[in-house]
Amino acid sequence: HGRLSLRDAEQVTRVRHSAAYGWGYRLTPDGALYRVSGLHAVQIRMRDGRVLNFGSDEPERLAQAIERAMAGR
């Protein structure tokens, strides 16, 4: 947990996770998952090798906002 600096982000991808991963914060084979709703998520690959997944009902909008923020770094 903590802060995330998009300066350290390498790649943003839209993904879909299994319902079996459950809700809340989970460590999955696909990296850390923060899910509060839905099966869709935005996956951020960090330069240090971490993979973070953020669940969202609007993954396209979330990914676009993250990509805009990354472009302005």
Residue 73: pLDDT over 80: no
What is the pLDDT, as a whole number, of residue 1? 55
Query: Is 53:15 a contact under the CB 8 Å cutoff?
Result: yes
Q: Of the candidates 71, 39, 72, which has an alpha carbon nearest to the alpha carbon of residue 54?
A: 39
Residue 5: pLDDT over 70: yes
* Main-chain dihedrals φ then ψ at residue 63, nearest 5 degrees: -60, -40
pLDDT digits (tens, 9 = 90+) for 40-70: 999 999 999 999 999 999 999 999 999 999 8
Give the three-class secondary structure for 28.
strand
- 51-55/40-46 β-pairing: antiparallel
Query: Is 46:9 a contact under the CB 8 Å cutoff?
Result: yes
pLDDT digits (tens, 9 = 90+) for 19-43: 999 999 999 998 999 998 889 999 9
Task: Please tell me which residue, 1 or 73, carries the higher pLDDT value.
Answer: 73
